[in-house]
Structure 1
Amino acid sequence: MKKLRCFSCWFLIMLLLLLSAAVSAAEKPLVEIDIYSINDFHGHLRAEGTDPGISCLSATVNALMKQNPTGSLLLGGGDMFSGTIDANEYQGMTSVMAMNRMPFAANVAGNHIFDYPLDVIKKQASAAQFPLLSANILAVETGKVAEPFQPYSLLTRNGLTIGVVGLTTGETKTKVSQANLKGLKILPPEQVAQQYINEVRSKGADIVVLLTHIGSVQGDGSNVEGEIVPVLQKLHGFDAVVTAHSHLCVSGTVAGVPVVQAGCYGEAVGRIHLLYSRAEKKVVAASTRVYKLADLPRLQDAAMEKLLEPIFKDVDAKYNTVLAVNQQLLTNDRNDASMVGDYFMDLLQSGFKADVALYNGGAVRDVLPAGTVTARTLIKIFPFDSTLYVGEVKGSDLRQVFEHGLGNAAISRLRFAGVQVTADVSKPEGQRISRLVLADGSAVVDDKYYKVVSNDFMFSGGDGFGSLKNARNLRDCGKDKVFFSFALRSFKTINYSADSRLQLIGRGEKNG
């Protein structure tokens, strides 16, 4: 009985303290709100190389949020679930599980959410303890926001109501597998954003945050540039913007509104600090900052480490099989030369006896270090679940692939084998290619068909490679990593040097 009375007293004291804190916050004329954000994490759960890992990220976020415990919220800027073997092996669920242990209040759908089909996305959303937002992903059948996405979320911090509206880049239409977009429609974000800004205001939102997976770039000083700017110029009534997609650190403003982006892979945490006046019923001051974890004390979340340890062990046991030995580092720059891309395109072209091998540059994600090459190494380079196809492509359509894939700032550089190419990247698309010659020295002829091997993403028109949709006699050749694993085991040793398959004019350089 005495223990019961003690517990009742303790509970009453805690309740009074909480009520007192709430009343105190409600009475303050100026209220501080801190919006923390992480974007483009891409499943980099493990600490390795320059990646701090989710344990360090979690502990750092917790330490930052303790500075304003009742006025802070953590938002995900999208592309959080997929991108590494630790995440992809479990269809992104390991990332969801880790994010559940952190205080994420919401996450926006990025383009890479569609690395998975919709039924898997629904399972991810069901497992997540935070809403998956996107106001501009609609179901074709109903014309409404598609399940499991929500257009916005209403949160409460320090006695204020915060409306968080989710927006996804329009580039999603061309940057994902078209099969995974079946039944969905991606609207330009500015077409629907104002509707939901108004709606959350009508429901009592004191502060409106646009949580976007839309790219931004740091301009001069605090000026922000990039894809997000024309979107914001068509909107009003919002107080803060979280951006993503361009993998850059951004801390600045657009027309006086604070904008942040926190790099990628968990390397940084974005923060928008808002000062809200109850008297004026608006945000009266704002500041932005990006915390780079490399510049902060190294903290660790022991509980998170314990949670993921058996997962890492299972992945390593399955994927640490040695496939080959590499003699020297093969570099990779998504927007420039890629020895990795060239090497694997050579494997594809020779393996399928094709005239030409093609791959979108964004599918080749890492370098190939010197030393042993394991299945895990291979998946770091090719993290996406791509299927190989062989088909016949008309010469004119093949030429258009190179016109679009070289010198195009909107996408990563095209990877290829089987042809010698000269391109003037200072010229507009359609006028860039001056030389397109096969390995036997013959020029590519417009009305002739050529055997081409590529992935499902490119043959479905991904990244704007629409001319490949005209290919005939397409044949499914299985998963790319199955082929690459077989090829590496066969050769056992990699001793590759760059060649001169690509000659660029307009930048004064040659690239292998």
Structure 2
Amino acid sequence: MLRRLTSTAAVLAVSTGLTAGLTVGTAAAATGQEPGHGHGHGRTVDVQLLSFNDLHGNLEPPQGSSGTVSETQADGSKKAIPAGGVEYLATALRTARKGHEYSVTAAAGDMIGASPLMSGLFHDEPTVEALNKLKLDVTSVGNHEFDEGRTELTRMQRGGCHPKDGCYEKGRTYKGADFPYLAANVTDAKTGRPILKPYTIWQHKGVKIGFIGVTTKDTPNVVTAEGVKGLKFADEVETINKYAKELDRQGVKSIVALIHEGGMPASGAYNYDCDTPGAGAGISGPITDIAKKVTPKVDALVTGHTHQAYACTVPDPSGAPRTVTSAASFGRLYTDTTLKYDRATKDIVRTRTTHLRATNHVVNREQPKAPDMTRLIDHWKNLAAPVANKPVGYISADINGRGSDQYETPLGDIITDAQVEALAPADKGGAQIAFMNPGGLRSDLAYKASGQEGDGVVTYGEAFTVQPFTNMMQTVDLTGAQVLAALQQQVSGPNEAQPKILQISRGLTYTLDLTKKGADRIVASSVKVDGTALDPAKTYRVAANEFLMGGGDGFPAFKEGRNKKIGPSDLDVFIQYLQAHSTKDKPLSPPKAERITVLK
């Protein structure tokens, strides 16, 4: 079976490639002179900053609920709006740029990785080509840029054919990204030098704006060990402040930080005003502390990672409001921020009473498609078609996974059932229960495929989109006490503020009590295996993918497993289950998802 290959993260000496001149100073107010109107006249000029994040190679409109955004209506109700698709994103950005002499487009990481088959099959070369056509000026790296390791990330930037798969077409060599990937806080463990540029400078007619790019310092915990081999990930705030100071010395006084770390807004609606006074306003999570500590020399924070939509202001250390934005994910939104640049101070006008304007906009599918993006998609779809279009199963209705708003998802139940079934035979591992990390579930299974009439056919490409990492399965011995510890780690330690609830296979049940705190939210007495209370002293055979077994996502309990048995990939197991349990006449129906009882 043709699958995406993961390249080894060989230690490679990469020049930092620092660009000259980037500084950010604290924003100064205009001193009594008339402001300009954005076309180069007067003391100030409006610079348009367009931004997005977490595209994840979604060139076509995402499937199911992953391809919608929630919009609050005038009466307070919520409306789901179909959104996303690079054909529409290109049109939206090009339309937004019209009339703006000064316009820069930036992104906050995870442009590639965990991608649908059309991009993932070709190691995301199609996505970088699309971003080049979008005229992306700069992006930070995200954790998923390291899915295939440092060497492959370097190839994404510089170009060249894949070291194992080669070139995908005769006489056609991948040219690399026209835009710089920034990785200020990612250094070589031996040399201490950044593996890619830490910052860059955008310039137009005398206007200079510096961009510093960082990814979450938690990247080693959310990427396989091989992907981050030989690398160190420094603190986001310390790194940004370091380079902001360096850039300031060079005379660049306007700085934007591209940060692949994020937060959670009080509302899931993209048009929620998170600066509304009152209880529940604003955002929470890691980005809040980062925003409060990043030097005032930085004028705006473009963020990502959590796939949420927000356009907020958070006071910087001097007390001046500063925008913190995120455009959800998968190209469903873009953010438009106005930076008022003062020609005299070379800084962005930003004081306690004057701050930036930032708004999220829907990439709706009612606008025309960009013809050049349609041609690009058609080209790569034709190359992928022999693999992507192969039927592997049938479903009777949408089976929600990534797009579900519940802790336990119907698709998560199916995937873990597939894993425990495949690995239950003694010679395959003897699995009794299986766990799946929620972040590994990338999409829904939609009854109606994008742009097609609903027929319930699940293709290889659709299955790949759900599980694109092709992580190898493992089965190990864990005691009941260790299984309970793993369950408790969902809601404690690094996962206490933002729980990561594992998907669980049939036979395992428990109660999640959200009225309690920390590990106590797992009701220990409620944990049962096949109807029998979990025995702390008994040994259970537990299956999970290699990422989770390596302690990823804050689950060190899995690393204590013994008597490891390696199995097939999670994707192969998933497809095997679909083929065994569904036919055109008897399609697979969405399960009820009743394994976790939630108390609120």
Q: Report TM bin, short chain.
A: 0.7 to 0.9
Q: What amino acid sits opposite 1:438 in the alignment?
A: V
Q: Give matches, 1:102-501, under 5 Å.
A: 102-126=134-158, 127-145=176-194, 147=195, 149-218=196-265, 219-221=274-276, 224-226=282-284, 227-236=286-295, 237-255=297-315, 256-284=321-349, 285=354, 286-294=356-364, 298-332=367-401, 333=404, 335-353=406-424, 354-370=431-447, 371-405=456-490, 410-417=498-505, 418-431=507-520, 432-434=522-524, 435-439=526-530, 441-493=531-583, 494-495=588-589, 497-498=591-592, 500-501=594-595
Matches of 1:356 and 1:36, distance apart in 2 = 46
Could you tell me which of 109, 115, 139 is aligned with 1:78? 109
Query: Is the Cα–Cα contact under 8 Å of residues 36 and 270 in structure 1 kept in the other structure?
Result: yes
Matches of 2:300 and 2:509, distance apart in 1 = 48
1:357 aligned counterpart, secondary structure: strand
Go from structure 1 to structure 2 and tell me whether the alpha carbon gap of 1:499 and 1:26 turns closer, same or farther (over 3 Å shift): closer
Go from structure 1 to structure 2 and tell me whether the alpha carbon gap of 1:334 and 1:396 turns closer, same or farther (over 3 Å shift): farther
Go from structure 1 to structure 2 and tell me whether the alpha carbon gap of 1:495 and 1:241 turns closer, same or farther (over 3 Å shift): closer
2:510 aligned counterpart, secondary structure: strand
Matches of 1:173 and 1:426, distance apart in 2 = 31
The corresponding residue for 1:504 is 598
Go from structure 1 to structure 2 and tell me whether the alpha carbon gap of 1:410 and 1:206 turns closer, same or farther (over 3 Å shift): same
- CA shift for structure 1 position 334: 6.0
Which protein is richer in helix relative to its size?
Answer: 1
- CA shift for structure 1 position 183: 0.9
Q: What amino acid sits opposite 2:408 in the alignment?
A: A
- CA shift for structure 1 position 142: 1.3
Could you tell me which of 133, 143, 150 is aligned with 1:101? 133
Matches of 1:446 and 1:307, distance apart in 2 = 55
Query: Is the Cα–Cα contact under 8 Å of residues 44 and 51 in structure 1 kept in the other structure?
Result: no
- CA shift for structure 1 position 245: 1.4
Matches of 1:501 and 1:235, distance apart in 2 = 43
Residues 194-238 of structure 1, C-alpha deviation per residue, up to 9 Å, x if partnerless? 110011122221311111112034434287423222112222211
Q: What amino acid sits opposite 1:308 in the alignment?
A: I
Q: Could you list the runs of 5+ residues in structure 2 that have no partner in the other structure?
A: 1-37, 64-81, 159-175, 266-273, 316-320, 425-430, 448-455
2:124 paired with 1:92: yes
Q: What amino acid sits opposite 1:136 in the alignment?
A: N
Larger radius of gyration: 1
Q: Which moved more, 1:298-307 or 1:452-461?
A: 298-307
Query: Is the Cα–Cα contact under 8 Å of residues 26 and 159 in structure 1 kept in the other structure?
Result: no
2:498 aligned counterpart, secondary structure: coil
Matches of 2:45 and 2:134, distance apart in 1 = 24
Matches of 1:153 and 1:355, distance apart in 2 = 52
2:310 aligned counterpart, secondary structure: strand
Go from structure 1 to structure 2 and tell me whether the alpha carbon gap of 1:135 and 1:499 turns closer, same or farther (over 3 Å shift): closer
Matches of 2:378 and 2:83, distance apart in 1 = 17
2:476 aligned counterpart, secondary structure: strand
- CA shift for structure 1 position 191: 1.8
- CA shift for structure 1 position 464: 0.3
Q: What amino acid sits opposite 1:246 in the alignment?
A: T
Query: Is the Cα–Cα contact under 8 Å of residues 60 and 86 in structure 2 kept in the other structure?
Result: yes
Q: What amino acid sits opposite 2:368 in the alignment?
A: L
TM-score normalised according to structure 2 size: 0.75
Q: Which moved more, 1:427-436 or 1:236-245?
A: 427-436
Go from structure 1 to structure 2 and tell me whether the alpha carbon gap of 1:38 and 1:427 turns closer, same or farther (over 3 Å shift): same
Query: Is the Cα–Cα contact under 8 Å of residues 251 and 261 in structure 1 kept in the other structure?
Result: yes
Residues 387-406 of structure 1, C-alpha deviation per residue, up to 9 Å, x if partnerless? 11111112211111111226
The corresponding residue for 1:58 is 90
Query: Is the Cα–Cα contact under 8 Å of residues 411 and 463 in structure 1 kept in the other structure?
Result: no
Query: Is the Cα–Cα contact under 8 Å of residues 390 and 475 in structure 1 kept in the other structure?
Result: yes
- CA shift for structure 1 position 247: 1.5
Identity between Structure 1 and Structure 2 (%): 24
Which protein is richer in strand relative to its size?
Answer: 1
Matches of 1:310 and 1:271, distance apart in 2 = 31
The number of equivalent residue pairs is 478
The corresponding residue for 2:44 is 30
Residues 22-69 of structure 1, C-alpha deviation per residue, up to 9 Å, x if partnerless? xx9777411221111011111110135534311221122122112213
Query: Is the Cα–Cα contact under 8 Å of residues 334 and 361 in structure 1 kept in the other structure?
Result: no
Q: Which has the higher contact order (CA 8 A, sep 6+)?
A: 2
Query: Is the Cα–Cα contact under 8 Å of residues 275 and 312 in structure 2 kept in the other structure?
Result: no
Residues 444-473 of structure 1, C-alpha deviation per residue, up to 9 Å, x if partnerless? 222332111100110011110111011112
2:594 aligned counterpart, secondary structure: coil
1:40 aligned counterpart, secondary structure: coil
Q: Which moved more, 1:275-284 or 1:458-467?
A: 275-284
- CA shift for structure 1 position 280: 4.3
2:519 aligned counterpart, secondary structure: coil
Query: Is the Cα–Cα contact under 8 Å of residues 60 and 299 in structure 1 kept in the other structure?
Result: no
Go from structure 1 to structure 2 and tell me whether the alpha carbon gap of 1:411 and 1:423 turns closer, same or farther (over 3 Å shift): closer
Q: Could you list the runs of 5+ residues in structure 1 that have no partner in the other structure?
A: 1-23, 508-512
Q: Which moved more, 1:485-494 or 1:187-196?
A: 485-494
Matches of 1:250 and 1:153, distance apart in 2 = 25
Query: Is the Cα–Cα contact under 8 Å of residues 83 and 362 in structure 2 kept in the other structure?
Result: no
